[in-house]
Amino acid sequence: MDKDLVIGIDVGGTTTKCGVVDARGTVLAQTVVTSLSEDVNDFIATVAEGLGRIIEEAGAKGRIRGIGVGAPNGNYYTGEIKNAVNLTWCKTGTVPFAKLLSKKMGGIPVSLTNDANAAAVGEMTYGAARGMKDFIMITLGTGVGSGIVIDGKVVYGHDGFAGELGHTCAVRDNGRQCNCGKRGCLETYCSATGVARTAREWLEMSDEPSSLRSLDTITSKDVFVAAQEGDAIAKRIFEYTGKILGRSLSDFVAFSAPEAIVLFGGLARAKEFLLEPLEKSMNENMLPLWRGKVDIVFSTLKESDAAILGASALAWEL
Amino acid sequence: MDKDLVIGIDVGGTTTKCGVVDARGTVLAQTVVTSLSEDVNDFIATVAEGLGRIIEEAGAKGRIRGIGVGAPNGNYYTGEIKNAVNLTWCKTGTVPFAKLLSKKMGGIPVSLTNDANAAAVGEMTYGAARGMKDFIMITLGTGVGSGIVIDGKVVYGHDGFAGELGHTCAVRDNGRQCNCGKRGCLETYCSATGVARTAREWLEMSDEPSSLRSLDTITSKDVFVAAQEGDAIAKRIFEYTGKILGRSLSDFVAFSAPEAIVLFGGLARAKEFLLEPLEKSMNENMLPLWRGKVDIVFSTLKESDAAILGASALAWEL
């Protein structure tokens, strides 16, 4: 039988999603395993066991062409994961993840990159960026990730770590402290945690009534729900977030002149509140030649499948 | 005889430099013609006449493989120049420059791009970036231009206008007004005119003695000479310029993870005053993974030849 299927694996801090995918982007079988091993070999064993199950379930034995993995701090060139603070088995040091997994899976080739790059390949292969050769993927989750596609190829850079747009500077003076050690990073304002942080700061700064005040801890989802219910502060928080994101996007456009920017992730669900201020600020801050010409597109992939599809798309290139 | 030579043309606002170049980057013959025609056809005729002379002089008849042109607002995809405010014959509207020149030159193929992209190709082919596949060229002249090379190829983007890093935002609040209509553009701080502007602003803001006060008009060269003579304000101006440039470069690194940034242009001559503050601020503002790993390189091309070589290098790709 032809090797007509691939596997996509999305490695997260707590759980890892695995799926068998066909050429049309259908997830034939999927499973979720824990990421919380102390040792990488235990984790590889857990993943292999999960893959064995879904390969069986999908009738995919002997048909797997390759495995694509999206993981934090994953390096496409080396297949390694390095200093990934959110992964219990790779907090410090370097793990040759692609090599270990390939060996465990009887030599099936494994391609690895960071999660945002995988998402970009996924959008290009199956999603909103199908047919596009130049676009920038921005993932608005716990952090802000990015995958840059130029002339149909993901940009990996000299060292395999290109596309860290979440750590470009959004606010130069007195910017927020970022986990990376720098100040003012885009991620401290325009991620889910950034939105929650804005909410906490703003609620402290005024006495304006808000339904958010009744909550013990505030998440970006709470802010979204409050905005939908008409809460004025919550709506202004998204306006502010959109404004900051838009002006950063304008600088990204000056770099690679993409035809579109694709937004993905939890925060992208707040499209109704984010899109207008975002487009306004992006267009105001761009050179006239690009105004009104760069589309803001929201991911069209089913959220539950997207991570697997993104990673699996890498495997077709193997 | 083989077609073993190319022509490089650097179109500037006042003059246009043309040269016949061999594969090793030797300029065999060159000439400078005026750019100040009112009509593009007159300008093409002037250029063609100049080319005729240097082709004759270099014994290059029948040996020209192609012509490369670097011009403001030049579009690689279309071969057009568009709304180039500094060109008398193309202030508004679009000129199909590559097509017109090729026709006038009996069908010799013509490739065209903007001047900074041409400079990047020149550095990659003959200069400081030889052997590099991922670098960013920054030209510090009257304005700030940029040419981005990823995986050995210049980034043109969706529309042919990628790499306008001089118009990314360096100062978010109360930034300087730029000719492009925006505020805070990198170019308003880190070009030759930006340096002169800083000098004027700073001299007005204090009574500190400076040799610059005796001048009617101040150029970046005056500031450079004053700094060399130990003038304290002049030295601080370069420190400030380096600091602003360095933090912008750190964001560019987050985009494409280049192995080096190549600096070129009049202001790059002030290396002795710029380099240290620039490297310091770039490294402070980068993610830890890149600190100390991205080289700042200064162009090694002879300045009188560089513009011609850059443009000519394009022609080898024809």
User: What DSSP line would sit under B104-142, residue for residue?
Assistant: HTTT--EEEE-HHHHHHHHHHHHSTTTT-SSEEEEEESS
Write out pLDDT tens, residues A161-205: 999 999 999 999 999 999 889 999 999 999 999 999 999 999 999
What is the phi-psi region of residue A25: left when phi exceeds 0, alpha when psi lies from -120 to 50, beta otherwise? left
The DSSP secondary structure of B213-272, one letter per residue, reads GG-SS--HHHHHHHHHTT-HHHHHHHHHHHHHHHHHHHHHHHHH--SEEEEESGGGGGHH
The pLDDT of B278-282, averaged and rounded, is: 98
Alpha helices in chain A (DSSP H): 40-57, 97-104, 115-126, 187-190, 192-205, 220-228, 232-256, 271-284, 303-316
Helix, strand, coil percent values for chain A (each to nearest 5):
40, 20, 35
Strand partners, B261: B136, B296
Are A257 and B158 within 8 A, CB to CB? yes
For A280, phi then psi, to 5°, come to -60, -50
Which of A124, A168, A243, A247 best probes binding to B when mutated, by most B CB atoms within 10 angstroms? A168
Search chain A and give the residue with CA nearest B157.
Answer: A257
Write out pLDDT tens, residues B19-64: 999 999 999 999 999 999 999 999 999 999 999 999 999 999 999 9
Are A255 and B256 within 8 A, CB to CB? yes
Q: Nearest-CA neighbor of A94 among A112, A107, A110?
A: A112
**B96 to chain A, closest Cα gap in Å:** 18
The pLDDT of B138-164, averaged and rounded, is: 95
What is the Cβ-side half-sphere exposure of residue A155, based on CA atoms within 13 angstroms? 36
Do the strands B260-264 and B153-154 form a parallel or antiparallel pair, or are they unpaired?
unpaired
Query: If pLDDT is split at 50, 70 and 90, which confidence band does B202 have?
Result: very high
**DSSP secondary structure letter of residue A161:** -
Write out pLDDT tens, residues B98-113: 999 999 999 999 999 9
Contacts of A177 in chain B (CB under 8 A): none
Per-residue pLDDT, A65: 96
Query: Is the per-residue pLDDT at B92 higher than 90?
Result: no
Query: Is the per-residue pLDDT at A235 higher than 80?
Result: yes
Are A171 and B172 within 8 A, CB to CB? yes
Determine the Cα angle at B87 with ends B83 and B92, to 5°.
30
Report the first-to-last Cα separation within chain A, whole angstroms: 18
Contact B192, B177 (CB under 8 A): no
Contacts of A182 in chain B (CB under 8 A): 285, 287
Contacts of A151 in chain B (CB under 8 A): 153, 155
**B251 to chain A, closest Cα gap in Å:** 5
The pLDDT of B161-165, averaged and rounded, is: 95
Q: Nearest-CA neighbor of A261 among A118, A115, A146?
A: A146
Write out pLDDT tens, residues B58-68: 999 999 999 99
Write out pLDDT tens, residues A88-141: 999 888 999 999 999 999 999 999 999 899 999 999 999 999 999 999 999 998
The CA distance from B89 to B167, in Å, is 24
Which residues lie closer than 8 Å to B145 by C-beta, 6 or more apart? Answer: B114, B115, B116, B119, B138, B139, B163, B165, B166, B265
The CA distances from residue B173 to A12, A76, B73, B285, in Å, are 37, 38, 28, 19
Per-residue pLDDT, B304: 73
Query: Is the per-residue pLDDT at B8 higher than 70?
Result: yes
Strand partners, B9: B18, B69
Residue A112, helix vs strand vs coil? strand
Per-residue pLDDT, A142: 87
Per-residue pLDDT, A1: 60
Closest partner residue to B148 (CB to CB) among A181, A255, A258 is A255
Q: Which of B118-122, B241-245, B305-309 has the lowest mean pLDDT?
A: B305-309
- Predicted TM-score of the model (pTM): 0.93
Query: If pLDDT is split at 50, 70 and 90, which confidence band does B1 have?
Result: low
The pLDDT of B71-97, averaged and rounded, is: 91
Are B287 and A153 within 8 A, CB to CB? no
Per-residue pLDDT, A67: 98
Per-residue pLDDT, B233: 97
The pLDDT of B298-304, averaged and rounded, is: 84
Per-residue pLDDT, B207: 94
Query: Is the per-residue pLDDT at B114 higher than 70?
Result: yes
Residue that is written with structure tokens 């679009």 in the block: B94
User: Which tokens belong to A2?
Assistant: 């032809």
Closest partner residue to B169 (CB to CB) among A155, A182, A247 is A247
Per-residue pLDDT, A305: 82
Are A257 and B153 within 8 A, CB to CB? no
What does the mean pLDDT of chain A come to? 94
The CA distance from B119 to B57, in Å, is 25
Query: If pLDDT is split at 50, 70 and 90, which confidence band does B305 have?
Result: confident
A/B interface, count of CB pairs below 8 Å:
121
**DSSP secondary structure letter of residue B165:** G
Query: If pLDDT is split at 50, 70 and 90, which confidence band does A301 have?
Result: confident
Which of B92, B114, B168 best probes binding to A when mutated, by most A CB atoms within 10 angstroms? B168
Give the residue numbers in B contacting A (CB under 8 Å), as ranges: 83, 133-134, 148, 150-151, 153, 155-165, 167-169, 171-173, 180-182, 247, 250-252, 254-259, 285, 287-290, 293
Per-residue pLDDT, A91: 85
Residue A184, helix vs strand vs coil? coil
Are B165 and A255 within 8 A, CB to CB? yes
The pLDDT of B229-242, averaged and rounded, is: 98
Search chain B and give the residue with CA nearest A285.
Answer: B182
Are B155 and A256 within 8 A, CB to CB? yes
What does the mean pLDDT of chain B come to? 95
